[in-house]
Structure 1
């Protein structure tokens, strides 16, 4: 056989990826310099001139969106955001000492350039309780979007003004944002944890550093690109944190898989360039497929029909795409510099002489009792997923913030003085005049509804074309009874009330209810689309309908179990305080629809890396049992390390202060843990053992030919190599 034929039959030596890897390895200085220049340019443009986040989830055809549109059209003076000053006194607000302190605070607030006219509770007696111990006033902001750096000094000023038996607190959405500190050291902790895991897995500081440096450069470029894309497809402010977590996790994992293949090549006697080419052409091929699966799964968010969630999908996909490109271009250039020094600065360790690894022995245990193993694992997943049936969706408000926040103290004072529903007002908007009736009978009907504490008199717009009034529930923002009240008003009260036709129920509370209902109705469609598209891709990759279906079902089980654990911790409060959740609360509306595509894509990643090894062994031997055992033995270490990195990165979100981001991080960490343990260690070997040769069913596919004796080179064929056979 001539040299050309040998190259053609030698795994990982030909093809587009092989040529790319060879170029990046040989022109490593040029590639690294180009990457550094590109990252610097993107960072300057993105971080210096990128689009600001957008957090307005309103819009669409919901009742609350129509109410908001009506208010914006006829009440331009109500467009600015507001804060609420809450006041609690021991001797009453009319006490001379208390009054001086309160009036000085009001004057200091009014002197701020971002604050409009402030009405004093001494001017409007309705702003205080009957015993005059608790009072409130609205602090209007001069602009609809005020930067939190302008609001934070107001929050601190009010906090510091408390004393002499007077407690003052500033609440409102902008106050909550101003008080919420940045994620801080959470990402640094995640990187440190990943470094420790990589050092243990590789036993070398050099091998540990390559995935981290590659991932960090990719994340900086990806976040900067995400900010620039925000001009075309805006995204909310939590996107950066979520996208950074996902990017850090997949970036390190993808580099980990490639470096592992590179080290295997060197161990088999390949020269550094050959080992690099094989690693990129094989493991890199699987990385590109895995990353593409994550991107396609994220694009499933577009099905939700929410403009900002489309922005989340595009922004997060941008980071994943950059990490994929870095893995197959920047990493081979780095490998060109390290060469045989990849194992430099090693961790001393004993060399094991065991012929069978722990993973292989464990697979044998499961395969001897496959039915029992599958039933037990399935039962565990079903039990964990059961709480999902009681999942409630809402958005965080002041009542679920940390207890030391001014916004929570404001909520507590106002709830004590004016009822828990004061922070959950419903805003009713309707047209008047030109055939529309007097809104006062309507106000009376709403005020008499069970669950309504009181309703305000109607306010007619300056053009006389619209009217608004507010109603305050007897229950709080997060209470299920408040959501039920919104539905009852719309379905029963307003249709029967005089002039109830054409009345829209809006406000932040009703908008949250509408968003939760919309997510609940569209989430099954998104799940179906993501599963269907991923299924087609996986069938094309592994060329097995049975394995693709197994993967889809197992991924759904692991994500359902993660949802269930999230409900138990966050909504039911089990271990919630230990994990940093101030109180039991509903699941934030965007969390389930955001983490599903991310988790489904990541689960497919691990499926690809495991099954491709199993299939490699099966194609070689035709023995499913041996193929599963050997495949697990060959991938257990790298998949365990990859999963541990993901868990560490996602868990660091619990160190932050944003309760919604913490929910997302917890859900993703639990799902990866379940996927790497119950799914990969128990269900996969058990189900594949039960299916036997049916695992490899594919219409029109022929049975594999057994190789007479595997060569060392063929036996070390990389992840994803056999996929292209």
Structure 2
């Protein structure tokens, strides 16, 4: 990446010297600081907020009415689903069912439980399937207490009786912990670094630096959560991002340090050179990612703003660690950076002779792309568009019980309830409206809703205790994930309710409507966020590379690689291609927050790789005036470090596939695909081909007298 000519009296140089000479103090400060923040963050940090409602949507207005006038209905509930092959009245089945109901009723965390034998409305006509609701006594019931209930229900199943416990709390309780995914990513990164550096010491520095930064960043994120609340998946997402960028940033600096030592600098001078060159690049890289992440403010979603701020905090801490903690570590290692080496043959082309002029594979590849630039650009662009095509059919939703692994109780309950009471039983709409008196006649509204295409049936109204509001429920004929379900909500709001007397004041809410409104808002505001991120990043990139043409090329190529990632993700998650092999139990829409979270992260990371490559090309072009040779030289100079950095990113992001959270799997998989596409098709094919086609126009900058001024010196890790 492009940096200023190293200045021995600059701010970064002074910081590097201080951290090198006062390395014990710096290390102690980091250890104490991380421990203090960890105690505060992990011990007293803000709780997660998973409420995606809010704003001015219809579901938000319905929720506000319910909270104001029906406070008694604000507690969480579970639903016991029962299927008895010989009917629930079979003596053996009845004994088993009544025992489970008694166990649930006796729990200290549940309210009164109505037996299905006492309420005929809880049983299907054939008496094979039944249900009952279990109210929880508190909004803050511990997951372990709910898990006890889940296990009791699961253990009671057997023979001709199948039982399952449904509800958000039950689904959360039985989900396994995230597991060793991040550890697998760290091991994979260690292997890549060891192969790249050939030294255990050099391998360890980026990993230790990144891990300390991640602990501090996530803990600080939890404290920031009091101001910007974020959902529970934020920790995992921040860990993935922090590991990826943290190790990559340290990789750039350690590589530059090793190059400086090889050029004859002593350890202190090498540290200063590494921080004033690669360290400066790291600050730009991190700033680009942070700017992109803060683009989530444009979505107008409280929780997504929280995710953006949390991830930005993590990236900021990794930046600070790279330019302060890492120089201290370099002070401790000194010349021992190459200790515990991996035996390897000497590099080709060194030492003179014919081998010294032999072109590297990267240069030969760039030459091949430049000889047929139109064909290369068309084939690469067409390939990316083909990969992106499935994104045109992308649907957005949130994971529910229907997409969970089929051995979980929540999925068993979903299947039972769908079979007995219809697929829409798991996706009810809750209608709320203010009323003038208890005598208000809501029958025209309820009848109109019940006759609406796609609605199975509607329930009688319930009047609030203060007599100022009423609510009723309606159940769609389709389930939570069916693409027809959102159409029913829009039909009710746009056509049915406005045309019936009193219907204009009726709001459609409930968990299903909340997800539909959130997904609609994401789809509507995503273009705005893309425009904001594009605009800010282009301004920054033009200022750094001093070329409007290259900045626009970078933006277009980044959009292509991200579009390809969206398309492949849609094909896997929504269409089911390789879905089961990658841990997705069934097809489902893409999680609503995944595309808007992926875009700023990937745009920031892709822009980093772009500048890293193009700045090296530009330096050589200003020196030689030969675009073709400069592209080949730049590609050869940066290929190894980009490959290593991308491999680390892919390894870290792919660890989410080993985890249990289906939604986190999606974002990790999508980001891994995008980085792979960016580091291969874009950097190896599109960039050399497109720059060859543009020629001198690559360096166009308006209002500049000299079209090719001598640029700031570019000091990059020349080889890993």
Question: TM-score over 0.5 for the alignment?
Answer: yes
1:375 pairs with 2:370:
no
* Structure 1 residues 635-654: Cα deviation after superposition (integer angstroms, max 9, x where no partner): 11011000000000001100
Map of 1:538 onto structure 2: 541
Map of 2:509 onto structure 1: 506
In the alignment, structure 1 segments of 5+ residues that lack a partner are: 1-8, 708-713
Once residues 30 and 504 of structure 1 are traced to their aligned partners in structure 2, the CA distance between those partners, rounded to angstroms, is: 60
* Corresponding residue to 1:344 among 339, 343, 347: 339
Map of 2:157 onto structure 1: 162
Map of 1:124 onto structure 2: 119
- Structure 1 residue 169, shift from structure 2 partner: 0.7
Contact 2:53 2:60 in 1 (8 A): yes
* Corresponding residue to 2:395 among 386, 389, 392: 392
- Structure 1 residue 10, shift from structure 2 partner: 7.0
Partner-residue secondary structure (3-state), 2:51:
coil
Once residues 267 and 79 of structure 1 are traced to their aligned partners in structure 2, the CA distance between those partners, rounded to angstroms, is: 67
Map of 1:463 onto structure 2: 466
Contact 2:189 2:652 in 1 (8 A): yes
Contact 2:62 2:509 in 1 (8 A): yes
Map of 2:35 onto structure 1: 40
TM-score by length of 1: 0.95
- Structure 1 residue 163, shift from structure 2 partner: 2.3
* Structure 1 residues 49-89: Cα deviation after superposition (integer angstroms, max 9, x where no partner): 11111111111100011111111111111000111100011
Once residues 483 and 208 of structure 2 are traced to their aligned partners in structure 1, the CA distance between those partners, rounded to angstroms, is: 47
Contact 1:551 1:607 in 2 (8 A): yes
Moved more, 354-363 or 688-697: 354-363
Map of 2:213 onto structure 1: 218
Map of 2:361 onto structure 1: 358
1:423 pairs with 2:426:
yes
CA gap of 1:416–1:435, structure 2 versus 1, over 3 A, is closer
Once residues 440 and 347 of structure 2 are traced to their aligned partners in structure 1, the CA distance between those partners, rounded to angstroms, is: 86
Map of 1:486 onto structure 2: 489
Contact 1:291 1:320 in 2 (8 A): yes
Contact 1:114 1:141 in 2 (8 A): yes
Partner-residue secondary structure (3-state), 1:259:
helix
1:691 pairs with 2:694:
yes
Moved more, 140-149 or 382-391: 140-149
Partner-residue secondary structure (3-state), 1:471:
strand
Once residues 51 and 503 of structure 1 are traced to their aligned partners in structure 2, the CA distance between those partners, rounded to angstroms, is: 35
- Structure 1 residue 256, shift from structure 2 partner: 0.3
- Structure 1 residue 356, shift from structure 2 partner: 2.1
Map of 2:623 onto structure 1: 620
* Structure 1 residues 647-700: Cα deviation after superposition (integer angstroms, max 9, x where no partner): 000011000111110010011000000000000001111111111111111123
Map of 1:332 onto structure 2: 327
* Corresponding residue to 1:718 among 700, 715, 718: 715
Map of 2:17 onto structure 1: 22
Partner-residue secondary structure (3-state), 1:417:
helix
Contact 1:622 1:706 in 2 (8 A): no
CA gap of 1:455–1:269, structure 2 versus 1, over 3 A, is same
Contact 1:28 1:333 in 2 (8 A): yes
- Structure 1 residue 434, shift from structure 2 partner: 4.9
* Structure 1 residues 15-48: Cα deviation after superposition (integer angstroms, max 9, x where no partner): 1111111111111111111111111111111111
* Structure 1 residues 147-198: Cα deviation after superposition (integer angstroms, max 9, x where no partner): 3222111111110111242111101111111111221100000000100111
Contact 1:436 1:499 in 2 (8 A): no
Map of 2:264 onto structure 1: 269
Once residues 156 and 90 of structure 1 are traced to their aligned partners in structure 2, the CA distance between those partners, rounded to angstroms, is: 22
Map of 2:195 onto structure 1: 200
* Corresponding residue to 1:182 among 177, 192, 206: 177
* Structure 1 residues 493-521: Cα deviation after superposition (integer angstroms, max 9, x where no partner): 11222321200111111111111110000
Map of 1:406 onto structure 2: 409
1:658 pairs with 2:673:
no
1:578 pairs with 2:605:
no
Contact 1:97 1:164 in 2 (8 A): no
Once residues 102 and 17 of structure 2 are traced to their aligned partners in structure 1, the CA distance between those partners, rounded to angstroms, is: 70
* Structure 1 residues 97-140: Cα deviation after superposition (integer angstroms, max 9, x where no partner): 21121111111111222211111111111101111111001111
Contact 1:199 1:205 in 2 (8 A): yes
Moved more, 593-602 or 161-170: 161-170
Contact 1:454 1:473 in 2 (8 A): yes
* Structure 1 residues 426-470: Cα deviation after superposition (integer angstroms, max 9, x where no partner): 111111225994112211111122211111111111111111111
Once residues 245 and 458 of structure 2 are traced to their aligned partners in structure 1, the CA distance between those partners, rounded to angstroms, is: 52
1:679 pairs with 2:679:
no
* Structure 1 residues 257-306: Cα deviation after superposition (integer angstroms, max 9, x where no partner): 11111111111111111111111001111110110010010000011111
- Structure 1 residue 703, shift from structure 2 partner: 3.6
Once residues 492 and 5 of structure 2 are traced to their aligned partners in structure 1, the CA distance between those partners, rounded to angstroms, is: 71
- Structure 1 residue 310, shift from structure 2 partner: 0.8
* Structure 1 residues 335-370: Cα deviation after superposition (integer angstroms, max 9, x where no partner): 111111111111111123233221111111111111
Partner-residue secondary structure (3-state), 2:505:
coil
Once residues 615 and 205 of structure 1 are traced to their aligned partners in structure 2, the CA distance between those partners, rounded to angstroms, is: 34
Contact 2:638 2:717 in 1 (8 A): no
Once residues 362 and 302 of structure 2 are traced to their aligned partners in structure 1, the CA distance between those partners, rounded to angstroms, is: 45
Cα RMSD for the two superposed structures: 1.6
1:233 pairs with 2:228:
yes
1:556 pairs with 2:551:
no
Contact 1:43 1:224 in 2 (8 A): yes
Map of 2:353 onto structure 1: none
1:516 pairs with 2:519:
yes
Once residues 240 and 139 of structure 2 are traced to their aligned partners in structure 1, the CA distance between those partners, rounded to angstroms, is: 30
Contact 1:159 1:406 in 2 (8 A): yes
1:590 pairs with 2:590:
no
Partner-residue secondary structure (3-state), 1:138:
strand
TM-score by length of 2: 0.96
CA gap of 1:436–1:487, structure 2 versus 1, over 3 A, is farther
